[in-house]
Amino acid sequence: MDTSRKANRESLEVTLQYRSRQESLSGQEIVEEKLTQLQVLLGQLTKTPHGRAELEARTKHFGQCNRVEGETGTAFYGRLRRWLDRDLPHTKSPLHRPRQTDS
């Protein structure tokens, strides 16, 4: 039996395990970075009249979207993203504009 092949295979497995741990950490860091960017965007929206109106309408229809204690960044990012991506229900608008009547 060739011991060098076995040693190479074992070192390759260790390397792959290390790499997968690093990739999962960087994935979590990426989500945290995206979450930070999304929260900055929401902060900027509150500074414009149209943005404030949009956020108030979302809060009225869907409720507040705040981070729950103990919630992971990934879970909160997904929930906040859905909160922002949902279409607001259309309000009923008149079919025709009101008539002007002179009496």
Task: With a cut of 70, say whether residue 92 has pLDDT above it.
Answer: no
What percentage of the chain reaches a pLDDT higher than 90?
38
Residue 43: pLDDT band with limits 50, 70, 90:
very high
Residue 101: pLDDT band with limits 50, 70, 90:
low
Query: Model confidence over 7-20: pLDDT tens digits?
Result: 777 777 777 666 66
Looking at per-residue pLDDT, the higher value among 3 and 61 belongs to 61
Q: How far is CA 65 from CA 14, 49, 80, in A?
A: 42, 20, 6
Nearest CA to 73 out of 29, 42, 26 is that of 29
**Residue whose pair of structure tokens reads 């509150």 in the numeric block:** 46
CB atoms within 10 A of CB 80: 18
Count how many Cα atoms sit within 13 Å of the Cα of residue 63 in the half-sphere of its side chain: 4
Task: With a cut of 90, say whether residue 29 has pLDDT above it.
Answer: no
Query: Model confidence over 59-70: pLDDT tens digits?
Result: 998 889 888 899
Looking at per-residue pLDDT, the higher value among 40 and 29 belongs to 40
Nearest CA to 91 out of 65, 57, 64 is that of 57
The answer to whether the pTM exceeds 0.75 is no
